[in-house]
Amino acid sequence: MEVVLDCFFDDVLSSMDRSCLSVRHKRREMIDYLGTLIMSCEDEKEGCRLAVMSALRYHDVHRRSNGSVCLMGKYHDVLYVAAKICFDRCLEDCTVVAGLLDSIFSCEKTFERLFIGSIFGTKVTHLICGWKTDFADGEESLRALGYFLSHAAKMKLSYVVPGPSGRIESRCCAGASESRRWGKEAATPPPGAKPSLTRLVDVPMQAYEGSPPLYVASLMERPKVLLLLLRFGAESDGGRGRTVDREERRAHSPLESHVRKLSAAASAGVRVLPIDSASCLRVLMRASTRVAIPANEVEWEAQDPLPIRWRKTCGTPVHPRLFRDGIILPSRWNRPAELKHLCRCAIRTALWNNWELPYGIRKLPLPNRLMNYVDLLDD
């Protein structure tokens, strides 16, 4: 089987046009063909592993022949054929999947093609970045994203995000003390210091102003994607303080943005508040100790001043309707939250430091109901 696969990549694929895999239906044809070869194996799991390894070998050989610079075209697109095969066949070999993810990052310095299907759907992404996802719909894209995040967490994958200096990527498998970065260049580390690493769930999406996936998912109001990213340890305050369009303008955190949007809608007398925005805010609050924004930045405050009692109770301004409708718990607004929620945040921080999110939660001596609470599935 291994010989047949190597001959296919070395002879058949090499004779095809360089752009033969740039179109989605061509990649699907190759996926179907390789799937037929895999099904002919006595052990389909082993056949899947061999097919993915042959694709990685094909990519690596041609990259090394070009001075360690990817030739792109079919030489790189074959990695996404391998990614679809991994997901379709539920390949559980973490080492092979990690090698696939490393190869993607080594060429692209981002994983945005694995995220865009679940965030934007499968129909409009080619208008933004010129790429159509290989997954059938948004739900399958979300499951695929969870699959790759799961393997990345098990293998403790983290990378150096390239900045203006053009630093090469780095991978680390023991990063309990690493710091998270959000698309902004950190200060130059002293000689001999460990480079700042970013976990796969936080690697910025270069085609979207270098924003982290959680920030983009929040902007598009995708609560299911937000929940998945947060469960795997994405920073709930992602994007705050980013420089936008090279100007000194703060991009508000996802949580702040939804508070502002919902408060503005409530102030305008909207009968039904935006459902998706409210759902995103509830999900984000599960991973945040509190919600608070500076009073002088609330645009609608002068138009609809809040009663003094609300200011004293809630701290910085927020429309009272958000409390009455149960969108924001009063205990989470600009004050220490309830002990149960603070314990959840502390437990998740400890698990994140030890690469145990989210699967390490099931190892804790807790009732199932509390496990779901710590895993952000309940509030």
Quick one: pLDDT at residue 238? 52
User: Quick one: 311 and 268 in the same domain?
Assistant: yes
Confidence grade of residue 358 (pLDDT, cut at 50, 70, 90): very high
Number of domains in the chain: 4
Report if residue 175 sits inside a domain. yes
User: Quick one: 118 and 208 in the same domain?
Assistant: yes
Report if residue 326 sits inside a domain. yes
Report if residue 103 sits inside a domain. no
For residue 131, pLDDT beyond 50: yes
Confidence grade of residue 127 (pLDDT, cut at 50, 70, 90): confident
Closest CA to 37 of 100, 81, 93: 81
Quick one: pLDDT at residue 194? 57
For residue 348, pLDDT beyond 80: yes
Mean pLDDT of all residues in 273-289: 92
Quick one: pLDDT at residue 196? 78
Quick one: pLDDT at residue 226? 96
Could you tell me the pTM of the whole model?
Answer: 0.85
pLDDT tens for 80-116 read 999 999 999 999 999 999 999 999 999 999 999 999 9
Report if residue 7 sits inside a domain. yes
Quick one: pLDDT at residue 190? 54
Report if residue 243 sits inside a domain. no
CA–CA distance, 81 with 59 (Å, rounded to integer):
12
Here the contacts of 120-124 (C-beta below 8 Å, separation 24 or greater) are 120/220
For residue 330, pLDDT beyond 70: yes
Range of the domain at 48: 1-94
Q: Which residue has the higher pLDDT, 73 or 311?
A: 73
Query: Angle, to 10 degrees, between the axis of helix 24-39 and the axis of helix 44-65?
Result: 130
Quick one: pLDDT at residue 188? 47
Mean pLDDT of all residues in 237-262: 63
Measured CA distances, 344 to 4, 288, 317, 351, 375 (Å): 52, 10, 26, 11, 9
Report if residue 230 sits inside a domain. no
Residues facing residue 211 across a β-bridge: 205
For residue 43, pLDDT beyond 60: yes
pLDDT tens for 178-205 read 333 223 333 345 555 556 789 999 999 9
Please name the helix (run of DSSP H) or strand (run of DSSP E) that holds residue 198, with its range, or none: strand 198-199
The DSSP code for 161 is P
